[in-house]
């Protein structure tokens, strides 16, 4: 059975040994399968998985809105293609967490409408400071998200690295891509933004608050 037909045959995929729904059905760039681990819907730590998927979905949604705001201001400038490329990766990240939410029956945070507006405003607002401002925002946000993903990796490793192997692979891959975005921001003069250190600190306090709230609500 082809991957596409398998996806149609199992619209609500269940995690269990032998469940051969390829992860490629969730994201083009991940070539592993959720069939090798001992993770099933019955044996996962629901509190941990529920929190991780909800907050990561919210974070990737927020990142998408930030890049949308940046593109609205800087899309036609020389950094437009750079921002677009990062945004495209964020779209893949969000798509993956959308699909994991369905698979694990996790509800989104009630704060989604808020992150919609705040994310766009943050992206557009920093972009109005110039490309350096936009890149400073990228550095601040991506550093926070990478740190957040590292915390989740530690949590899952402490829980059971074998059981959560595939979820760990997804989070590690996304963590690495967020770090690439962080480095792209630095390479594009983020540190030349007005009041860079202060701007970065303020944005990172906001990210911490967003993570705290999205995990709980
Ligand atoms: Fe992302
Ligand atoms: Fe990112």
- Cα-only R_g, the chain: 18
Known binding-site positions for Fe cation: 60, 90, 93, 142, 178, 181
Residues of the chain with pLDDT under 50: 1-33, 35-36
CA of 61 to the centre of ligand 1 (A): 8
Q: What is the pLDDT of residue 129?
A: 95
CA of 217 to the centre of ligand 2 (A): 23
Closest-approaching ligand to the CA atom of 144: 2
Q: What is the pLDDT of residue 43?
A: 79
CA of 1 to the centre of ligand 1 (A): 32
Q: What is the pLDDT of residue 16?
A: 37
Q: Exposed, middle or buried, 1 (CB in 10 Å: 0-12/13-18/19+)? A: exposed
Q: What is the pLDDT of residue 156?
A: 95
Fold exhibited by the domain 45-216:
Ferritin (1.20.1260)
Entry pTM? 0.80
SS3 (DSSP) at 126: helix
Q: What is the pLDDT of residue 97?
A: 96
CA of 93 to the centre of ligand 1 (A): 5
Would you kindly state where each structural domain of the chain is located, as residue ranges?
45-216
């Amino acid at each position: 059975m082809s991957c596409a037909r398998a996806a149609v045959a199992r619209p609500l995929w269940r995690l269990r040994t032998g469940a051969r729904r390829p992860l490629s059905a969730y994201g083009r760039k991940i070539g592993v399968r959720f069939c090798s681990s001992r993770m099933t819907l019955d044996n996962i730590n629901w509190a941990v998985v529920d929190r991780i998927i909800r907050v990561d979905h919210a974070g990737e949604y927020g990142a998408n809105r930030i890049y949308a705001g940046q593109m609205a201001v800087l899309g036609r400038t020389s950094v437009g293609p750079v921002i677009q490329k990062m945004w495209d990766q964020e779209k893949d990240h969000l798509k993956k967490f959308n699909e994991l939410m369905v698979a694990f029956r996790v509800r989104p945070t009630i704060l989604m409408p808020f992150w919609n507006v705040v994310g766009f405003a943050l992206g557009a607002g920093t972009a109005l400071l110039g490309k350096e401002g936009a890149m400073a925002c990228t550095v601040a946000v991506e550093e926070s998200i990478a740190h957040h993903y590292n915390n989740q990796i530690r949590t899952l490793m402490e829980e059971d690295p074998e059981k959560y192997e595939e979820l760990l692979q997804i989070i590690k891959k996304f963590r690495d891509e967020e770090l690439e975005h962080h480095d792209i921001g630095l390479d594009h003069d983020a540190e030349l933004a007005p009041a860079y250190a202060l701007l970065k600190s303020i944005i990172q306090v906001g990210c911490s608050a967003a993570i705290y709230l999205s995990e709980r609500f």
